[in-house]
Amino acid sequence: MKRLLFLVLVILCSCQSNKKESVSSNSKPVPPPEPYFVDIKVNDVKLDKPAYGDWLFFHKEKGQSFEKFLNTKHVVPTQEENIIYLQPIGKFNADQIKQIELVRQYLQVFFQLETITLKGISNDIIPKHARRIGDVGQEQLLAGYILDSVLKKEKPPKRAALMAITEKDLYPKPEWNYVFGLASYRDKIAVSSIHRMQKEVDFNGCLDRFLKICSHEIGHMFGLNHCIEANCVMNGTNSMSETDRHSIRLCSLCQRKLHSGFQYDNMKRLAELEKYFKENNLNEGLALMKKDIEKIKNN
């Protein structure tokens, strides 16, 4: 029974990495938060107590303070490395192609960095030894192979981050059932699958999930750990249902971390996110952006 329980926990895990942090011995001074982050903090939603099956029920994470973030080595965009790339792998249907373009547009707004979709490549690049048949007959690709043998070779100009997108299901190792995505934060590469995003939802439901997963994984590449401060897109997740419960919004603390290295215009980003959610009929995200805008205007 104990062995079975362990396997169940392993199957549920969905956000994996080979991240290694190194904290500098020369700690940077921590500046006070800008008024923007103080104002929107009131809109942060406290996390509910973890239920059985939730990420935090099994993973007792300590969180990441702003000070710890500043003093932990992480990627910061520069003039030489300031483009996010998406690499489609596989044969996508019309809806999936549209969703990839909408993800590209969203990431460009979310991170305030140019985001480019590269020319798609065939699944034939994945050899037989890096494929298998999953538990319900679906073909799965070995996520680590995509990172190590496909993406590491890609060197598009001015790359800050590179994420592969596949329509096939992913698995990280033989004893695991699946993962939504896998990333190497040190190498600034990741892969995410749209396969499970499509289940039991319409086009916009799938898009909402895909925006969360992609912004979450790329957020990790820029140094954001799992958030335990509020309901946030950087919360760890064990399942699609838990992902659905998580907010698409970065909480005030995670926004402050991201902004510290990027130094974009916070109000410009917020207005562009509001416009994106409105144009794509993503009402939950739109309501969250409107609340932040209203709070700032009233202060």
Active site residue ranges: 217
Edge-to-edge strands, sheet with 189-193: 15-17, 181-184, 189-193, 159-166, 83-89, 114-117
Residue 89 burial (10 A CB sphere; 0-12, 13-18, 19+): buried
Q: 141 forms bridges with which residues in the sheet? A: 131, 170
Pairing of strands 83-89, 159-166: parallel
Q: In this structure, are residues 25 and 19 in contact, taking their beta carbons and an 8 Å threshold?
A: no
Q: In this structure, are residues 143 and 172 in contact, taking their beta carbons and an 8 Å threshold?
A: yes
- Judged by DSSP in three states, 139 sits in strand
Q: In this structure, are residues 114 and 262 in contact, taking their beta carbons and an 8 Å threshold?
A: no
Count of alpha carbons within 13 angstroms of residue 248, beta-carbon side: 26
Neighbours of 268 (CB within 10 A): 11
d(CA 163, CA 276): 21
Q: How far is CA 252 from CA 13, 82, 229, 255, 295, in A?
A: 26, 23, 9, 5, 13
